Amino acid sequence: MATRISEPADGTINWPPQARAYVTAVHDQLGAVEEDERNDLLEDLRDHVAALLQERGNDVDLEDRLGPPATYAAELLDSAGLQTPRGAHRPWLWERRIRSYLANPRTSRIIDWLRQLLPAWWVARGYGIALFLAAFTGGTTPSRQLPIPWILGNPLTGLLISLGVIYLSVEVGTGRIDTSGGWRRLARWAASVVSVLTLLMVATQPYGGVVEVEPGVFYDLDDPGGAEVFFEEQPILEHPVLTLPGRDPVTNIYAFDRNGTPLSDVLLYDGVGNPLILQDGPDGNGYPFDAYGLQTDYERDADGNLVPNLYPLTQYRTTDDGNETGSRPERSGDARRPVPEVPIPPLPSNAEDADRAAPTLTPMPPARPTSPPLSDQRRSGE
Amino acid sequence: MLDLAVLAVLSDGDAYGYDVLRRLREQGLDEVGDASVYGTLRRLYRAGALSSYVVPSDEGPNRKYYALTDSGQTQLEHSRKVWQTFTDHMAAILQNGASR
């Protein structure tokens, strides 16, 4: 007698494992019968077993009552006037061995326990399909805290479609939607495979992979105010960047002394001595101000070297494969200069004024990097 | 023979597979196999002697009922005559044999 890891047929989910195994074994014996006819025969058998279980309880010995599955199948075929088509597929030896292993009582108990998880799988399958739809309709997930796929660019649409797909998946799983034959069974398997692959893809991506993204910004620094911001969506970077309180990325840091004089060769570290890295984009070209989907058209000096700090930078957006999108801003020509046009607030000239000017700040001791080489760099930067 | 028995049972009223089997057993056909009855039902259905319909059940899964069609009714009458003739002949043969 054999069983298999698959969704139980309609109405059999509460059956004892030996009853499902019996039906499965008969099914295997009928493997060469035309599918429609086989489904009808098995439907009758399921009805019969259900009636026996109802009348005699779950402990009924089906082999004792109906005979071995092979005998039952042979009698059924004979009385129904059916013969196994010549050349039809018979289970291979390895198939029979696997089924024999699955029919082992201990394995059956494990499989029976796993069947209890089927409802969770049905929900996950629906969610995976929703993620797949999101990935192919330009969808995103706004955050990891609320993992609703954006389908057709809309979270509400995504929520509704997700619920609908999950509902269908559960209905298919319980058998209330018949997918036992022909293209429907093929579609069910295809959907399951697509869902599993999508879920695996999402699960193995450190920051959500194909669908999970967070809002990004594009600063058009050619704008005199430098403040025009286009909120778009961009995949989460492999390495996180510094962010502002609104989760917008910090794209640049300027260092000035208290007199407003720009400082050069400043090295910044966090409290434990890690260097602060901005815009660690996947292009890996080392350009300091490039991010995923955002590149900078750097100017070059007379020797052809990049001048990375000639502001405002001419930045433009690119697609995933590096192709430029939209129009590239024109250079500002002679108006560009090595410091951005940022209003510098007047700073107090002594510590007492400084405390009054920034009463909410807590004085911090000088950060001391833990790594000696970094410590050396920091002191040289200061 | 089982064809005739199944048709005769269904001539008393529509029934689902398990019910047909139970009625046959009640009539004394204890040895008839479950699979034989279901196979016979399927064969008669394919031949057009039976029709089927599904009835929701409060006690379990839906039940598929079988009913005699006109063709099935005709087949039943014909088979009954054949069987009656056969049993008459057999009865006569056995009676003659016993009287000798």
Q: What is the predicted pLDDT for the residue at A164?
A: 94
Q: Does B36 touch chain A (CB under 8 A)?
A: yes
So what's the ipTM on this one?
Answer: 0.85
Q: What is the pLDDT of residues A124-153, one digit of tens each?
A: 999 999 988 887 776 555 444 457 787 877
Q: How confident is the model at residue A215 (pLDDT cuts 50, 70, 90)?
A: very low
Amino acid code (one letter) for B69: T
Where residue A247 falls (left for φ over 0; alpha for ψ -120 to 50; beta otherwise) is left
Q: Which parts of chain A are beta strand (E)?
A: 213-219, 229-235, 294-296, 299-300, 306-307, 315-317
Identify all chain A residues contacting B18, using CB atoms and an 8 Å cutoff. Answer: 47-48, 51-52
- Say which residue, B62 or A158, is predicted with more confidence: A158
Cβ B61–A46 below 8 Å, yes or no?
Answer: yes
What torsion, rounded to 10 degrees, do the Cα atoms A82, A84, A86, A91 define?
Answer: 170
User: CA–CA separation, A321 vs A339, rounded Å?
Assistant: 32
Nearest CB to B39; choose among A50, A54, A80: A80
B21–chain A nearest CA distance, Å: 10
Q: Using an 8 Å Cβ cutoff, are A169 and A188 in contact?
A: no
CA distance A299 to A305: 8
pTM, two decimal places: 0.39
B42 close to A (CB below 8 A): yes
Q: Which of A137, A378, A102 is nearest to A267 (CA)?
A: A378
A40 at B interface, C-beta within 8 A: yes
Query: Which among A41, A48, A54 is the nearest to B34, CB-wise?
Result: A48
Please identify which residue in the block is written with the tokens 């669908």: A211
Is the model's pLDDT at A356 over the cut of 60?
no
- Nearest CB partner across the interface for A77, out of B39, B41, B61: B39
How far apart (Å, rounded) are the C-alpha atoms in residues A1 and A102?
Answer: 9
Say whether B42 and A44 touch across the interface (CB within 8 A): yes
Q: Is the pLDDT of residue A191 over 90?
A: yes
State whether B40 and A73 contact (CB < 8 Å). no
Q: What is the residue-averaged pLDDT of chain A?
A: 68
Task: Give how far Cα A179 sits from Cα of A23, A176, A184, Å.
Answer: 18, 9, 5
Beta-bridge mates of residue A262: A256
Q: pLDDT tens across A278-328, in order?
A: 654 444 455 555 555 667 777 777 887 777 666 666 777 777 666 777 676
